[in-house]
Structures are given as structure tokens and as C-alpha cells.
Amino acid sequence: MMHRMHRFVCGLAVALGLLGQSQATPAAPNAAPNIVVIYADDLGYGDIHCYNPDRGRIPTPHVDRLASEGMRFTDAHSSSGVCSPSRYTLLTGRYHWRTRLQAGIVGTWERPLIADDRMTIGTLAQQQGLRTACIGKWHLGWDWPMSPQERTRIAGFQRPQAGSDVEPISDEHRRTWAAVFSRPIAGGPSTRGFDSYFGTDVPNWPPYCFIDQDRTVGIPTQLLPAADFQNNRASVQGPAVEGWQLEGVLPTLRDRAVAFLDACRRDEASFLLYLPLTSPHTPLAVNEPWKGASGLENACADLIMETDAVVGDVLAALDANGQAGDTLVVFTSDNGFAPYAGAAALEARGHFPSGPLRGYKADAWEGGHRVPFVVRWPGVVEPGTQCDQLVHQADLLATFADALGVLLPDDAGEDSVSLLPLLKGAAEPVREVAVSCSVKGVPAVRVGPWKYIPVAGSGGWAKGGDPAEPEQLYNLAADIGETKNLAAAEPGRVEEAKAALAAVIEAGRSTPGRPQANDVPVKMLTQASARPAGE
């Protein structure tokens, strides 16, 4: 046992570059591509039909088309079972738990999570001369321009109950809002690698308005009506512009994305578009003709179809502009399906949002963080292919750097591995170790096909698990549904996973290069309560 453990840890140290190895300069492929990343919100592994043909009942023809024209990954993971941490990792190529965000999500009116000097996929693209845009949900914090006294008149409103009136607001509230929302908002996407930003930050949280670059579009003057807090729509009460309609968010983001692509065509500009959609996360605000379109009597199912249609509109714009052949497109989701959006009712109707996986959003089980992940890159990725290797959303930064023919510095993308060999058809794995977390910070540690969870249960919102089994170990190659806990039978595998986790924490990275410092001591919380998520 000890000899095997020694070999394992030494091998991992070599892989991390802790024994003096350095990363080789990547070779660029044919030509540097444009890049589009479409990031769905709360879309489960089984919500895309091509991922779940036997137990999926929601048509998704446009994502299915993307998969038929590219590569579908079956073992791809977000950094967390919830929103903000996954977004941090996708953008930076660094595990979120190296930051202050050890559990939960970035809260309302909270400061930025991404350090101002940290490279993102936007920064990388900017440095290579690409025009960059972020259109959609940010949810990574801003430097909101308000004093503590002003904050008392902006935050803390009560969520209205059904049939009740909203709280009255005073002239003093409106004067404060007019002052605060007339100021630029620092620390947002346009300071983290994106030439332009347009979106709603968090669509079910205030402020209920669009943000263009670093300014609100309009000045909020009212609170949302009580009806907007029913049926999984808005979650947190707060300032809203007059006439704000939750149904208008997704179509507006689609139109902005298409307009950006059109402008790049007119200007003959290369580009990176990061399109973090607000759906099918709350607000479940479905537009015609999608209401009832799924036939499942579930608003989230209808919104999944509307989301798929938005993907189709973006692909159609690339086609119409003659950009499709030169563009690397990635489609994925930040975490699994939200169980409160009607998971049980959908399962009763024959649609299983997690497909064959156990658990849902927030969980350390696979349904929390194994997500759809599709890549299309004409001339590089063979159409209609499937890759079953372990990959992680952290890998996008290194993949894009490889595609653009540049080498990442040691202090960027510390957990990012290039997927280019897999995209070109290689059969060998590009990573052996990966870490994803539950909402409470419970790690799910992958070492090859083996997965270790250091607690009983989901680590998140789902019930279940045997309290008599304080650790969990699964062989996902044989048991993707995590039905047979092998921790007691395979103590050596448990120790290997613990050693792998300790190594990537201590090194501050999980890729070759000089060791880096974590922002804070990493505790890997196992039983602490999550922050109030409000998701």
C-alpha cells in the first residue's frame, strides 16, 4: 500500500511540474479561430436530447445539430454544482475554491470574485487582437457604487407573498437610487477582459434592469410587483426600472449576440463571444410560442426549448455571416438541473433531467456537475464524434490558448489543460485528476474513473446516502449512477484520491508550472452550511 501511494504521489508531483518539469510551447493548429462560448444556466445533463435519447422528452434540435457537426463530451464537469464558482473557473481556468468562495455563490451586491490582474478567456483573446464581448449573466460581483448608508435604501427589501402588496418606497429611496444608479459600476466584465458587456448580472436579483458596459440602462424607480415572485420567477426584491418584464431578458440577449456577430462581420474583426445565458434558470419567464411547447406542463421544460432556439439563432447568424467555418463554438452548462423547477414531476412524465446520473444542482453527486459539453470547430473536430475522456470547464482557457498558438504564463490557468489533442481525435486522456464541489464546498475528487466524496450523502440539497458510510467511492466507468459505494472495499483508492486532492491544494495548481499561492487557506468544507443562495 505505502509503495503504491508513494508512486502515486510522486507521479502526481511530476504531472504538476513540482519536480522541475516545464510546459512545452504548444503548436498552433491551422489558423486561429473566432470563439463563441454559449453557457446555459441550470441545464441538466439529460435535458439535451442527444445526451438522453431514451429518457429525455424535450426536443433540442439546435444543440443536437451542434453535436452532430462537432464533438460531444460525455464526462465533462463544471467546477461546482452551483452558479458563480463554475463561472469563475470557466473564465479563469482556475478552481474556484482557491479563492474566498469556498462554498455557496457570490451574494447580492457583493464585490468582484475575479481579481483585477487575473487572466480570463477574454483577456487572453484581447491580447491576441480579438474583439471580445460578454453578453448575459455575470454573477461574479461588481464594485457597486454605494456607501453603507446608501446600501440600506437599496438592499434588504422583503420578498412579497402571493396576494400581498409590495413595500412602499419613499422619495428618499428614489433619490438614493437616482444617485447610485447614475454612477459607473466598476469591477465588472469590461474590466476583466471584455471590450463590451451587456446583460442583467443576475436576472432574478436586483437591479432589475439591463447593464450596458458599466451603466444601468435607465434608473430604477420602483419595486417588482408581487406576481413576479411566484412560480420560480424573481427571487430577491429590489430596485427595478419602470415596466421591467422578465420575459424580455432572453430575447434581448439573443438580439445583442446576433448584433455583435453582425458587427464583427462588417468590421472584418476576429472575435470571442462569451454568451452566458440566463436560462433555463429562474426566472421561468417563457415567451410565445414556447409556452406549453414541451407538452410536459412544466415551465422549465418549455424554457429549455426556448433556450435551444436561442442557440439556433446564434448558429444561424454565424452561418449567415460566413463565420461558421472559422469559429470554435462551445456549448455547456454551469451545473445540473434545479430540482425545485419540477424535477419530480418531469420524471413522472418520463423526462429525467439528470439522465442516468444521481442527484441534481448543488450536489457532489454527478447530477450536480456533470454537464453537456459540445465543441464544434470545422476543419479540426470531426463531425458527429463522441469523447468519453474526463474534461473540465477549467480546460477552456488552455484550449483557447493552444488554439491561438500562445503559451499561458505560470500565474494563469493553473488548473486548465488543453483539450486540443482530444478535439483532434486523440484517444489518450489529457487529465487524470479533476475536482468539482457541491454548494456546501464538499469536493468530488476524480482520479481516472474513480470518484471520491468525503462525506455521506450528496453534500448538497438532495436527500439520501447512508449515514453509516461516512465516505463514498464509486467506479464511474462501471457505475455511472453511483449506486455502489466501494469506499470500504477499496481503501487504497480512497487514500489515492485524498493524496491527489492534497497535492493540487498544496501546489496551488494542477498543471505543469511553478507552484502558485491560493488566495486563502483551502479548507474544502465538508459539512458547513452554504450561504443563502437565492438561486
Judged against a pLDDT cut of 60, whether residue 13 lies above it is answered with no
Residues paired with residue 444 on neighbouring β-strands, in sequence order: 436
212 vs 190: CA distance, rounded Å: 10
Q: What is the mean pLDDT of the chain?
A: 93
Determine the 3-state secondary structure of 495 from DSSP: helix
pLDDT at 179 (0 to 100): 98
Does residue 334 contact residue 531 with C-beta atoms inside 8 Å? no
**pLDDT band for position 30 (cuts 50, 70, 90):** low
As given in the structure block, the three cell numbers for residue 324 are 461558421
Residues paired with residue 515 on neighbouring β-strands, in sequence order: none
pLDDT at 12 (0 to 100): 53
Q: Is 54 exposed, middle or buried (0-12, 13-18, 19+ CB in 10 A)?
A: exposed
Judged against a pLDDT cut of 60, whether residue 19 lies above it is answered with no
Determine the 3-state secondary structure of 316 from DSSP: helix
Burial code (b: 16+ CB inside 10 Å, e: under 16) for 124-147 equals bbbebebbbbbbbbbbbbbebbbe
Q: Which amino acid is at 450?
A: W
Q: Pick from 75, 72, 81, 78: which is nearest to 450 by CA?
A: 75
500 vs 454: CA distance, rounded Å: 13
As given in the structure block, the three cell numbers for residue 81 are 454544482
239 vs 199: CA distance, rounded Å: 16
Judged against a pLDDT cut of 50, whether residue 6 lies above it is answered with no
**pLDDT band for position 166 (cuts 50, 70, 90):** confident
Judged against a pLDDT cut of 90, whether residue 25 lies above it is answered with no
Q: What is the pLDDT of residues 227-237, one digit of tens each?
A: 999 999 999 99
pLDDT at 530 (0 to 100): 36
Q: Is 498 exposed, middle or buried (0-12, 13-18, 19+ CB in 10 A)?
A: middle
As given in the structure block, the three cell numbers for residue 399 are 484550449
As given in the structure block, the three cell numbers for residue 222 are 420602483
309 vs 292: CA distance, rounded Å: 15
Residue for grid cell 460581483: 141
Mean pLDDT throughout 269-298? 98
Q: What is the pLDDT of residues 481-533, one digit of tens each?
A: 999 999 999 999 999 999 999 999 999 999 999 999 999 999 875 433 333 34
Please spell the DSSP secondary structure of 359-403, one letter per residue: --TT-SSHHHHB--EEEE-TTTSPTTEEEEEEEETTHHHHHHHHH
**pLDDT band for position 164 (cuts 50, 70, 90):** confident
As given in the structure block, the three cell numbers for residue 267 are 468590421
As given in the structure block, the three cell numbers for residue 170 are 419613499
Instruction: Report CA 227 to chain centroid distance, whole Å.
Output: 29
329 vs 70: CA distance, rounded Å: 9
The percentage of residues in the chain with a pLDDT greater than 90, rounded to a whole number, is 89
As given in the structure block, the three cell numbers for residue 181 are 444608479
pLDDT at 20 (0 to 100): 32
Determine the 3-state secondary structure of 49 from DSSP: helix
**pLDDT band for position 31 (cuts 50, 70, 90):** confident
Q: Is 5 exposed, middle or buried (0-12, 13-18, 19+ CB in 10 A)?
A: middle
Residue 292, H or E segment: none
Judged against a pLDDT cut of 70, whether residue 2 lies above it is answered with no
Q: Which segments of 170-269 does DSSP mark as H helices, in order?
A: 171-180, 249-266
Q: What is the pLDDT of residues 103-150, one digit of tens each?
A: 999 999 999 999 999 999 999 999 999 999 999 999 999 999 999 999
pLDDT at 465 (0 to 100): 86
pLDDT at 162 (0 to 100): 77
Mean pLDDT throughout 412-426? 98
Q: What is this structure's pTM?
A: 0.94
Q: Pick from 419, 418, 469, 428: which is nearest to 448 by CA?
A: 428
483 vs 465: CA distance, rounded Å: 10
494 vs 484: CA distance, rounded Å: 14
Mean pLDDT throughout 203-227? 97
Mean pLDDT throughout 330-347? 98
How many residues would you count in the chain?
Answer: 535
Q: Which segments of 103-154 does DSSP mark as H helices, in order?
A: 121-127, 148-151
423 vs 440: CA distance, rounded Å: 33
pLDDT at 291 (0 to 100): 98
pLDDT at 27 (0 to 100): 34
Fold of 31-145+184-208+244-431: Alkaline Phosphatase, subunit A (3.40.720)
- With a CB cutoff of 8 Å and minimum separation 6, the contacts of 68 are 50, 383, 384
Residue for grid cell 519536480: 19
